[in-house]
């Protein structure tokens, strides 16, 4: 099933849970749960399938064209966001660009940072991408990720697939110039990735039964219709199952937590030395999931912005 969180254009006061069918139709599942977290906490998949089958058998007010809705991120406020870096091709490129060898530790254990899950930072399909007032080099990142579907701790790798609620596309928007300055301070990307609409997910959550082989999916990034990047999920050095097991060591995972893959090789402008501009349209496509589409906004103006100490 392809699950979505959406609002109606005609009444955007309340999020609804739905299913995406035929690529352009949204079915309101009208379940007695308030959000995607409760959906998985209460194990509503079977009920949702019955509801979907019933609605599709008749003309129903609960069926909408995708042009009549606003798609949110599948989990508009994930319980947590951990972004890994598991594509060796991307690590190789980083090594070439920076002149620093990949740490031997990278091959022994997966690495991640915690990203922002504030309501302002999470965005969905067709949201306008914020261009922060402090960057001249904004970048997209072609990634994907999984949401956790049930509570678990100390999860063995061989059981970790049972904890995957579903898969989605992830565009990790990055202000590269400030990001790399922050990372010299040994804490993380900070304002390089923390700003409104910086974590874009969607257009849907695809349940494991519909994804096929998750480690053999084509990944494509287009800018204004031109293909900039092509890759495959088969290049992941660590699987999501390994990531889940690693994170769950002595730490309880809960429904709605998100684990990102990191950037596929050549999946960002930094690697390509090609930079997006205000007004550009970014389309990230992953086989068996769909297309996540967003437009880059104009640079924000803020005369009262932070001024660096001299």
The domains found in the chain, sorted by start residue, are 2-71 (no CATH), 80-299 (3.90.850.10)
Mean pLDDT rounded to a whole number for the chain: 94
pLDDT given for residue 56 in this prediction: 66
Indicate the Cα dihedral angle 73, 77, 83, 89, nearest 10°.
0
57-89 in b/e form (b: 16+ CB < 10 A) is eeeeebbbebeebbbbbbbbbbeebbbbbbbbb
In degrees and rounded to multiples of 5, residue 285 shows phi and psi of -125, 135
User: How sure is the predictor about 210, in pLDDT bands with cuts at 50, 70 and 90?
Assistant: very high
**Per residue in 151-202, pLDDT tens?**
999 999 999 999 999 999 999 999 999 998 888 888 889 999 999 999 999 9
The widest CA-to-CA distance across the chain, in whole angstroms, is 68
| Bond before 203 cis per omega within 30 degrees | yes
Distance CA 189, CA 38 (A): 31
User: How sure is the predictor about 93, in pLDDT bands with cuts at 50, 70 and 90?
Assistant: confident
Tokens of 194: 């923390």
pLDDT given for residue 308 in this prediction: 84
Rounded to a whole number of angstroms, the distance between the first and last alpha carbons of the chain is 55
pLDDT given for residue 59 in this prediction: 56
User: 281-286 and 218-223: which strand pairing?
Assistant: antiparallel
Q: Among residues 9, 12, 20, which one has the least CA distance to residue 202?
A: 20
pLDDT given for residue 11 in this prediction: 79
Distance CA 176, CA 193 (A): 9
Range list of β-strands (E), 157-225? 164-172, 174-175, 199-206, 218-223
CA 73, 288, 45: angle at the middle one, nearest 5? 60
């Amino acid at each position: 099933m392809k699950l979505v969180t959406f609002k109606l254009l005609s009444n955007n006061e309340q999020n609804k849970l739905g299913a995406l069918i035929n690529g352009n139709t949204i079915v309101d599942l009208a379940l007695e749960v308030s959000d995607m977290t409760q959906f998985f906490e209460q194990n509503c998949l079977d009920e949702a399938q019955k509801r979907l089958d019933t609605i599709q058998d008749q003309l129903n007010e609960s069926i909408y064209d995708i042009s009549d809705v606003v798609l949110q991120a599948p989990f508009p406020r994930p319980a947590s966001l951990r972004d890994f870096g598991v594509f060796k091709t991307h690590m190789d490129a980083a090594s070439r660009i920076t002149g620093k060898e990949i740490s031997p530790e990278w091959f022994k254990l997966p690495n991640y940072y915690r990203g922002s899950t504030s309501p302002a930072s999470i965005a969905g399909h067709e949201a306008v991408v914020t261009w922060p007032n402090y960057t001249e080099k904004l970048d997209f990142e072609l990634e994907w990720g999984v949401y956790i579907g049930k509570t678990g701790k100390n999860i063995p790798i061989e059981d970790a697939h049972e904890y995957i609620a579903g898969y989605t596309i992830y565009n990790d928007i990055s202000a590269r110039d400030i990001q790399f300055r922050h990372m010299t301070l040994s804490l993380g990307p900070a304002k390089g990735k923390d700003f409104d609409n910086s974590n874009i997910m969607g257009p849907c959550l695809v349940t494991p039964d519909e994804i096929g082989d998750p480690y053999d999916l084509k990944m494509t990034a287009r800018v204004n219709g031109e293909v900039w990047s092509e890759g495959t999920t088969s290049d992941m050095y660590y699987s999501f199952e390994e990531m889940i097991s690693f994170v769950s060591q002595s730490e309880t995972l809960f429904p709605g937590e998100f684990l990102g893959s990191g950037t596929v090789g050549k999946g960002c402008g930094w690697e390509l030395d090609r930079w997006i501009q205000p007004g550009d349209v970014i389309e990230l496509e992953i086989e068996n999931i769909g297309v996540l589409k967003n437009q880059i906004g104009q640079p924000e103006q803020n005369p009262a912005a932070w001024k660096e100490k001299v």
